[in-house]
Structure 1
Amino acid sequence: MKILSLRVKNNFLDWDFEEIKFSSNLTLLVGVSGAGKTQILRAIIDLRRIANGTAINGFEWKIIFSTVKGTEFIWEGSFDTVEKNELSFEDDEKEKQDEREKSSLTYEKLTSNNQVLIERNQEGITFDKRRMPKLSSHQSMIYILKEESVIKEAFDALNKIEYRDHTINGRRLRNSNKSLHSLKNKYKTLDSIVNSDEDIKTKLYLTYENKLDIYEKIKSRFIDIFPQIGDIKVEPFKTDNLPKAIADKFNPSISIKEKSVPKWIIEDRMSSGMLRTIIHIAEIFLANEGSVILIDEFENSLGINCIDILTEDLIHENKTLQFISTSHHPYIINNIPYEYWKIVTRQGGHISICNASDYRLGKSKQDAFIQLTKILEKQS
């Protein structure tokens, strides 16, 4: 999936942003803290939630996106506004609210190749030019009709939107309830691993255990950034406190070995920058084809030595992926060509997004960076 453009308005929370046209493989949202960069990422996540049956109070949207197969869709819609106390967008309790408290879809339309596939309005619902019976007003038609072949392509594409942070402290259970040993036997080829629904650390483990060439490429890329490292291994989580059958349900553990140092450094003792770097590299090589990966403040925990190579990889390495990231770190902004920048500003609840070219920035990257820094300082 590639998001081509997006416009969103939230009538309940009283904010909106005008249309953003995204770059094919990388868009960097640049602006001061509080400008609305994270709000844009949250809106993209909300689109996935709507596609999976969630009602979002007062939410209006229009998104144009293309699938891996090259099909282009236009999906737009709006929920009515229900005045009530609202929790944070991540609160799972909102998913369990009483049907009577949920917002209803007042409008929804899905178009592809100039053909209207779905249209819902006050007069009723049509699908493929056929009038439909009354269906849930709280759920998107994409969700309700997701098994229909013409809709499934759009539904599957929207479920490629991912917001992941694999550096959260603490040992985490994997999504799969199967043991790592069974997964090793199930996924033996690179294609099967990449196209699986396993988390990125499990995918990295599977490439390591199956001795695939891609693992050596990931390791080599990591050592380019950290030349003091001689080797990396990815193994099942080991503990004396849990039976092996239970421990095998946790995420695998990454360990590194420095040159001329005999002992391995386990994941819990690695620097957060090192861990985040290897996860980012693995993401670039092992994420599902067509994934849209959202990264809030890309620079978190990354040192200057990491940023050069990782930003280069984001731009050039995997053309099937789309990265949308926020940043206000000068080094990152200065190392990503400004044709990938979207400058984000805000007045009240209105978020504005401009191309770097709209500011007539200098031709050289250094001049553009200096001018951008001055613009952002005025806005802060």
Structure 2
Amino acid sequence: MASELNTEINFQPPPNELAVVTRRDAIQHPFLEKLYHWGKSARYFRFGTPMGQDHLAFSDNELNFKNFNQAVAIFKEGKTEYGKAYVQLIKEDLKKIGYELEEVTIQAVGGGVHFERPKVTYGIQIKEKYLDVITSHHHISTGMFRALSLFIQLNYSLLASLPSCIIIDDIGEGLDYSRSSALMNLLINKTKNTKIQLIMSTNDRFVMNAVPLEYWSVIQRFPHKAMIYNYVNSKALFDKFELTGLSNFDFFSSNYFLKKD
């Protein structure tokens, strides 16, 4: 539908390109703008990677919000805009998954030369409740830093009311079962009734069992095609499985989602 002409018109985008991209036009197709901005705001996190622990920031005036996957920059931006309330949210979230922190700060961690000029590098430092010493950026455990980085960025989006899609691959990687399960439940609860769409991928049995089936989407792949089974398009099948008393992982491992109703 072309809005200005108020009529339907035929069009033929290239077969290997998305119509929502090739036909983007704020005047004729304004309804596509929402899809465009949703896609542009998507943030992809690979939980099995350092999640920003391998990046420091040079000099305070370069700690900016340009790199959305840089934990140091996001933390500074959030603390500048929202102050102690932002830091407190991060500490509360970490406590809920088993990490009790008294402080989360940005500190200079050393000097260096960048483009032939001396620079000071900045990183995140934490003070755990039951430790007497400060833990610097590179000495924070891998699993803890991944969770810290995720909450730094998620809480910024929530406080800023940024409509966004957050995609997390291999969620829970590097965390024990207890913390991984707590992280799943916390993420689901924090993003309910918000402007954030949360998509998490995993093949971990414990993670699967921690997430209710109503939030599942099982993907069956074929050459050049993929089928998705979820609670919206296969509700009867999902409800029937819950009566079996089996674990959520069995729904996937037994190929139960392929059974006819």
- Residue number among 130, 134, 138 corresponding to 1:264 in the alignment: 134
> Aligned residue for 1:322?
197
> Aligned residue for 1:206?
77
State how far apart, in whole Å, the 1-side matches of 2:40 and 2:204 are: 30
Q: Could you list the per-position Cα deviations for residues 136-169 of structure 1 after superposition, in whole angstroms to 9, with x for gaps in the alignment?
A: xxx8242xx4699936554333211221346256
State how far apart, in whole Å, the 2-side matches of 1:291 and 1:111 are: 27
RMSD: 3.9
- Residue number among 338, 353, 371 corresponding to 2:250 in the alignment: 371
State how far apart, in whole Å, the 2-side matches of 1:310 and 1:298 are: 9
Q: Secondary structure at the match of 2:201?
A: strand
The reply to whether residue 161 of structure 1 matches residue 42 of structure 2 is yes
Q: 1:228 to 1:161 in 2, by over 3 A?
A: closer
The reply to whether residue 274 of structure 1 matches residue 156 of structure 2 is no
> Aligned residue for 2:123?
253
State how far apart, in whole Å, the 2-side matches of 1:338 and 1:156 are: 29
- Residue number among 131, 137, 140 corresponding to 2:22 in the alignment: 140
State how far apart, in whole Å, the 1-side matches of 2:39 and 2:9 are: 16
Q: 1:239 to 1:302 in 2, by over 3 A?
A: same
> Aligned residue for 2:242?
362
The reply to whether residue 334 of structure 1 matches residue 191 of structure 2 is no
| 1:197 CA displacement | 5.3
TM-score when scaled to structure 1?
Answer: 0.50
Confirm or deny: 8 A CA contact 1:255 1:264 kept in the other structure: yes
State how far apart, in whole Å, the 1-side matches of 2:93 and 2:138 are: 22
State how far apart, in whole Å, the 2-side matches of 1:121 and 1:181 are: 48
> Aligned residue for 1:63?
none
Q: Secondary structure at the match of 1:242?
A: strand
> Aligned residue for 1:171?
55
State how far apart, in whole Å, the 2-side matches of 1:296 and 1:198 are: 19
Q: 1:291 to 1:344 in 2, by over 3 A?
A: same
> Aligned residue for 2:16?
none
Q: How does 1:2-151 map to 2 (within 5 A)?
A: 120-121=11-12, 140-142=22-24, 145=25, 150=30
The reply to whether residue 241 of structure 1 matches residue 112 of structure 2 is yes
> Aligned residue for 2:174?
301
- Residue number among 91, 101, 113 corresponding to 1:219 in the alignment: 91
* Segment drifting more, 338-347 vs 321-330: 338-347
| 1:221 CA displacement | 1.6
Q: Secondary structure at the match of 2:242?
A: coil
Confirm or deny: 8 A CA contact 1:277 1:306 kept in the other structure: no
State how far apart, in whole Å, the 1-side matches of 2:75 and 2:96 are: 18
* Segment drifting more, 164-173 vs 277-286: 164-173
| 1:341 CA displacement | 0.8
Confirm or deny: 8 A CA contact 1:333 1:369 kept in the other structure: yes
State how far apart, in whole Å, the 2-side matches of 1:111 and 1:197 are: 35
State how far apart, in whole Å, the 1-side matches of 2:173 and 2:2 are: 39
| 1:213 CA displacement | 0.9
Confirm or deny: 8 A CA contact 1:161 1:291 kept in the other structure: yes
Confirm or deny: 8 A CA contact 2:94 2:100 kept in the other structure: no
Q: Could you list the per-position Cα deviations for residues 331-375 of structure 1 after superposition, in whole angstroms to 9, with x for gaps in the alignment?
A: 2111111011112223455432212643531248x6242532541
Q: 1:241 to 1:374 in 2, by over 3 A?
A: closer
| 1:116 CA displacement | 6.7
State how far apart, in whole Å, the 2-side matches of 1:111 and 1:303 are: 53
Q: Number of paired residues?
A: 231
Q: 1:245 to 1:212 in 2, by over 3 A?
A: farther
Q: 1:218 to 1:149 in 2, by over 3 A?
A: farther
Letter in 2 for 1:199: F
TM-score when scaled to structure 2?
Answer: 0.69
| 1:199 CA displacement | 2.1
Confirm or deny: 8 A CA contact 1:232 1:254 kept in the other structure: yes
- Residue number among 291, 300, 304 corresponding to 2:164 in the alignment: 291
State how far apart, in whole Å, the 2-side matches of 1:209 and 1:161 are: 23
